[in-house]
Structure 1
């Protein structure tokens, strides 16, 4: 994927990334590093004023898994036995539309449900 430039800072679009790590479970360890996958990168998020709705509208999306598969590896134990370890491998990532958080309180709001608030005096 090609980088996306936002305010002069290069951003990588949402994609699968791979990190080699040694896997350990129940005192047993992989013989070598295992390529563990994750999703990372930029997705579209914006806020704009809608004259029609007479409020700010928000569009949010998150970089997350689109397809996964189960992978099995053998882990070697100190007593010269092996165990099978199963983990989730990410096959594809993409931008998924999600709810946006309201500033300050962490509550989620839907763009269509924004209502003006009145102050009590």
Structure 2
């Protein structure tokens, strides 16, 4: 019997593209207006459960990260009255992708033998 994930992703904060308006600066040159810079943020499914079949804890992890990107260009104004073209990566879509789960502490997992039931003779 495999366990079901009862606790899910919080509905109020799913993984999605977020936008932050900022002035872009590079090597002393600056954008004349705010640029919408994108990032990925929000909740993804992560769980730990005990598997009697495997006699150990099983981990499922996913990370909110980019699924699709595109290159964007903007003009930056420099102090010497010149303009330069600046290219940056724009996030078009985000999603939850599987990732490795790491164990707490030194990275060692609990030995499956220590979690098996002990039997003794009567």
TM-score range, shorter chain: 0.7 to 0.9
Tell me the equivalent position of 1:4.
Answer: 10
Tell me the equivalent position of 1:98.
Answer: 99
Tell me the equivalent position of 2:47.
Answer: 46
| Shift in alpha-carbon separation, 1:117–1:48, aligned structure 2, 3 A | same
Give the ranges of 4+ consecutive aligned residues of structure 1 lying more than 4 Å apart after TM superposition. Answer: none
The higher radius of gyration belongs to 2
> Cα deviation per residue 1:64-118 (whole Å; 9 max; x = unaligned)?
000000100000011110000000000000000011010013x498xxxx85377
RMSD (CA atoms): 2.1
Q: Residue 38 of structure 2 aligns to a residue in which SS?
A: strand
> In structure 1, how many angstroms separate the alpha carbons of the residues matched to 2:97 and 2:19?
20
**TM, length-normalised to structure 1:** 0.80
Tell me the equivalent position of 1:58.
Answer: 59
Number of aligned residues: 106
Pairing 1:15-54 to 2, within 5 Å after superposition: 15-54=16-55
Please state which structure has a larger fraction of its residues in strand.
1
In the alignment, structure 2 segments of 5+ residues that lack a partner are 1-8, 115-122
Q: Residue 61 of structure 2 aligns to a residue in which SS?
A: strand
> Cα deviation per residue 1:41-78 (whole Å; 9 max; x = unaligned)?
00000000001001000000000000000100000011
> In structure 2, how many angstroms separate the alpha carbons of the residues matched to 1:45 and 1:78?
48
